[in-house]
Amino acid sequence: MEVIKQVSTIREKMQALRCSGKRIGFVPTMGALHEGHLQLLRASAQDNDITVCSIFVNPTQFNNPEDYKLYPRTSEQDIALLKSVNCDFLFLPDAEEVYTQQTLLQFSFGALEQVMEGEHRPGHFNGVATIVSKLFHYITPHKAYFGQKDLQQVAIVRQLIQALSFNLDLVCYPTVREESGLAMSSRNKRLTYEQRQIAAKLYKALQMAAGMINVKPVQSIKQEVEAYLQSISQIELEYFEIADPNTLQPLQDVIATNEAALCIAAHVGSVRLIDNMLVNLKEG
In angstroms, what is the minimal distance from the CB of 97 to ligand PAF? Answer: 15
Q: Which stretch binds ligand PAF (CB under 6 A): 2-10, 23-31, 76-84, 198-206?
A: 23-31
Position 175 contacts ligand PAF (CB under 6 A): no
CB 172 within 8 A of CB 150: no
Between residues 30 and 176, which has the closer beta carbon with respect to ligand PAF? 30
Q: Interface mask (CB under 6 A) for ligand PAF, residues 219-238, using x and -?
A: --------------------
Return the residue of 14, 132, 155, 156 that touches ligand PAF, per CB under 6 A. 132
Between residues 30 and 41, which has the closer beta carbon with respect to ligand PAF? 30
Q: Interface mask (CB under 6 A) for ligand PAF, residues 181-220, using x and -?
A: ----------------------------------------
Between residues 37 and 201, which has the closer beta carbon with respect to ligand PAF? 37
What are the contacts of 104-111 at 24+ separation with CB within 8 A?
A: 105/130, 107/160, 109/156, 109/159, 109/160, 111/247, 111/249
Q: Which stretch binds ligand PAF (CB under 6 A): 81-89, 128-136, 169-177, 257-265?
A: 128-136
Return the residue of 115, 131, 235, 274 that touches ligand PAF, per CB under 6 A. 131
In angstroms, what is the minimal distance from the CB of 58 to ligand PAF? Answer: 4
Q: Can you give the three-state secondary structure of the chain, one letter per residue?
A: CEEECCHHHHHHHHHHHHHCCCCEEEEEECCCCCHHHHHHHHHHHHHCCEEEEEECCCHHHCCCHHHHHHCCCCHHHHHHHHHHCCCCEEECCCHHHHCCCCCCCCCCCHHHHCCHHHHHCCCHHHHHHHHHHHHHHHHCCCEEEEEHHHHHHHHHHHHHHHHCCCCCEEEEECCCECCCCCECCHHHHHCCHHHHHHHHHHHHHHHHHHHHCCCCCHHHHHHHHHHHHHCCCCEEEEEEEEECCCCCCECCCCCCCCEEEEEEEEEECCEEEEEEEEEECCCC
Q: How many residues bind ligand PAF (CB under 6 A)?
A: 10
User: One of 37, 124, 137, 142 is an active-site residue; which one?
Assistant: 37
Q: Which stretch binds ligand PAF (CB under 6 A): 26-34, 100-108, 253-261, 272-280?
A: 26-34
Residue 142 designated active-site = no
Return the residue of 44, 48, 51, 61 that touches ligand PAF, per CB under 6 A. 61
Between residues 145 and 240, which has the closer beta carbon with respect to ligand PAF? 145
Position 150 contacts ligand PAF (CB under 6 A): yes
Position 53 contacts ligand PAF (CB under 6 A): no
Q: Is the dihedral of CA 92, 95, 97, 102 positive or negative?
A: positive
d(CA 41, CA 33): 11
The set of catalytic residues is 37
Binding site for ligand PAF (CB under 6 A): 28-30, 58, 61, 128, 131-132, 150, 153
